[in-house]
């Protein structure tokens, strides 16, 4: 069940693989076969620097992986979940075929994988995910979000919303879907003109502006990313909404004041499960007796750590929660969960749209950074698509209210009025 540590590369029984008989395999080939077995035998063919070919038994491989040297293979054997994507980024591994299908095969195989090897368990225990103290969170967020606004402008679309979009139909474009997502969020909260909203983790500011413009509310929006806050403030000025939207460069834990609604889209992944009860305390004190809100987050079907390469290279300190873990925000504070919607397949589609734009901008990205960065980002986007299409990750939108709030919507029909 729990793919956790050994995926991205999740496994092959030697006897199940075709090619040379066991006696003809090189030592390296046998070690690779053993690792693939532990990872549940993904439908992937491997070609070694020696010309040796290790193909899955009885299934057509979705992809071919070339490993360039013994050193590279040994690193992958020691810690496939981190070292395989690292080797791809460095060009020490080449992939022929569809990267998304490779990673889907790895995730699906991971579910039928046997327990990790002793080495795998040791490597897992030695991992130390980044922590989300105040300073830790600043460093973790800086790592990902402050690299360059211009870079993100290349592939996030017009809204610069860096979270799961909402596709009412299969024809919906990325920009339309991001706008539809913001309306969906606002309708779920039933915002009314003149109300006060607090937003925790506002990215480049799109949702706050949308709420102010279309729903007539006043917004205080918190974010610890300096680059994002600067961008969002300029945008609010330019769009004439600076009087309605205040961007605060500060940690969500420092939110104070009383609001009608609390919203957070795509921040919870960075909060850390240990801090959920504290986040709930912030929500409860922000809403007082009669409020409501929405939290939108990547999630899981069951608790598991973040895929370790993603945690190490892309999103330090991040962890997508199960719904039971998310409940730790609400339960200690007697907040009622009103509505949960799982938008997993919408995130797969959003990521496909981002990846298309990213690949179109590949040359410019390489000029801004380097080839390794392009491959790293490609691995991250492709792995994320695969995680959502295979059900390894979920996307939960949770609407909640204070316990005695009887002014909540009786039905959800109002969300679907054209």
Buried b (16+ CB within 10 A) or exposed e, 158-197: ebbbbbbbbbeeeebebebbbbbbbbbbbbbbbbeeebeb
CA dist 127 and 64 (Å) reads 29
305 vs 332 by CB, closer to a second copy: 332
Applying the rule CB under 8 A, the residues between 373 and 392 that interact with a second copy are 389-391
Least separation, in Å, of the C-beta of 225 and a second copy? 31
For residues 317 and 284, what is the distance between their CA atoms, to the nearest angstrom?
24
CB closer to a second copy, 7 vs 223: 7
* Cα Rg of the chain, angstroms: 23
Indicate whether 188 belongs to the interface with a second copy (CB under 8 A): no
Instruction: Please report how close the Cβ of residue 1 comes to a second copy at its closest, in angstroms.
Output: 6
Site string for a second copy, 317-356 (x = CB under 8 A): -----xxx--xx-xxx-xxxxxxxxx-xxx----------
Least Cβ distance, residue 190 to a second copy (angstroms): 14
Angular region, 8: left φ>0, alpha ψ -120 to 50, beta rest = alpha
CB 310 within 8 A of CB 355: no
The two tokens of residue 37 are 């077995």
Interface residue with a second copy, options 124, 168, 278, 362 (CB under 8 A)? 168
Interacting residue with a second copy among 122, 360, 371, 403 (CB under 8 A):
403
β-pairing, 63-67 vs 93-97, is antiparallel
Q: Does 278 contact a second copy by CB under 8 A?
A: no
Site map (CB under 8 A) of a second copy, residues 294-313, x = contact: -------xxx----------
Q: Does residue number 173 form part of the binding site for a second copy (CB under 8 A)? A: no
Q: Tell me if 277 contacts a second copy by CB under 8 A.
A: no
Six-digit token string for 292: 């409501």
Asked if 54 contacts 62 with a C-beta cutoff of 8 angstroms, the reply is no
CB 180 within 8 A of CB 349: no
In the shown chain, the binding pattern of residues 52 to 91 toward a second copy, with x for contact by CB under 8 A and - for none, equals ----------------------------------------
Of residues 133 and 342, the one with the C-beta less far from a second copy: 342
- Least separation in angstroms between CB 231 and a second copy: 31
Give strand ranges (E) for 42-117. Answer: 44-47, 53-54, 63-67, 93-97
Smallest separation (angstroms) from a second copy to the CB of 391? 4
Cβ contacts of 270 within 8 Å, gap of 6 or more: 132, 137, 140, 141, 201, 315, 317, 318
Where on the chain is the footprint of a second copy (CB under 8 A)?
1, 108, 111, 166-168, 170, 301-303, 322-324, 327-328, 330-332, 334-342, 344-346, 389-391, 394, 396, 403-406, 408, 410-413, 415-416
């Amino acid at each position: 069940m729990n793919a956790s540590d050994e995926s991205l590369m999740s496994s092959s029984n030697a006897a199940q693989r075709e090619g040379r008989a066991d006696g003809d395999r090189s030592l390296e080939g046998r070690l690779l076969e053993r690792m693939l077995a532990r990872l549940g035998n993904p439908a992937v063919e491997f070609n070694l620097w020696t010309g040796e070919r290790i193909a899955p038994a009885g299934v057509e491989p979705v992809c071919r992986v070339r490993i360039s040297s013994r050193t590279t293979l040994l690193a992958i054997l020691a810690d496939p979940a981190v070292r395989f994507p690292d080797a791809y980024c460095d060009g020490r591994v080449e992939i022929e075929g569809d990267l998304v299908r490779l990673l889907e095969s790895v995730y699906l195989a991971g579910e039928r994988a046997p327990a990790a090897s002793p080495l795998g368990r040791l490597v897992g225990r030695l991992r130390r995910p980044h922590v989300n103290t105040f300073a830790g969170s600043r460093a973790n967020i800086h790592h990902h979000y402050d690299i360059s606004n211009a870079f993100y402008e290349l592939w996030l679309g017009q809204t610069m919303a860096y979270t799961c979009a909402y596709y009412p139909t299969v024809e919906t474009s990325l920009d339309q879907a991001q706008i539809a997502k913001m309306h969906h969020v606002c309708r779920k909260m039933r915002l009314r003109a003149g109300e006060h909203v607090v937003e925790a983790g506002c990215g480049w500011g799109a949702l706050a502006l949308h709420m102010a413009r279309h729903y007539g509310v006043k917004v205080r929006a918190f974010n610890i990313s300096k680059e994002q806050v600067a961008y969002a403030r300029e945008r609010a000025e330019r769009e004439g909404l600076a009087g309605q939207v205040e961007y605060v460069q500060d940690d969500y834990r420092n939110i104070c004041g009383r609001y009608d609604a609390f919203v957070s889209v795509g921040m919870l992944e960075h909060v850390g499960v240990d801090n959920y009860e504290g986040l709930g305390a912030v929500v409860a004190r922000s809403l007082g007796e009669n409020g409501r809100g929405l939290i939108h987050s990547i999630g899981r079907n069951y608790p598991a750590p973040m895929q370790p390469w993603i945690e190490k290279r892309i999103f330090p300190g991040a962890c997508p929660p199960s719904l039971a873990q998310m409940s730790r925000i609400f339960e200690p504070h007697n907040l009622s969960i009103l509505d949960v919607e799982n938008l997993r397949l919408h995130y797969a589609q959003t990521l496909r749209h981002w990846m298309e734009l990213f690949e179109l901008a590949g040359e410019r990205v390489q000029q801004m950074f380097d080839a390794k960065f392009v491959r790293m980002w490609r691995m991250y986007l492709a792995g994320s698509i695969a995680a959502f299409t295979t059900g390894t990750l979920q996307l939960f939108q949770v609407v909640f209210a204070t316990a005695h709030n009887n002014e909540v919507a009786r039905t959800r029909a109002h969300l679907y009025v054209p």
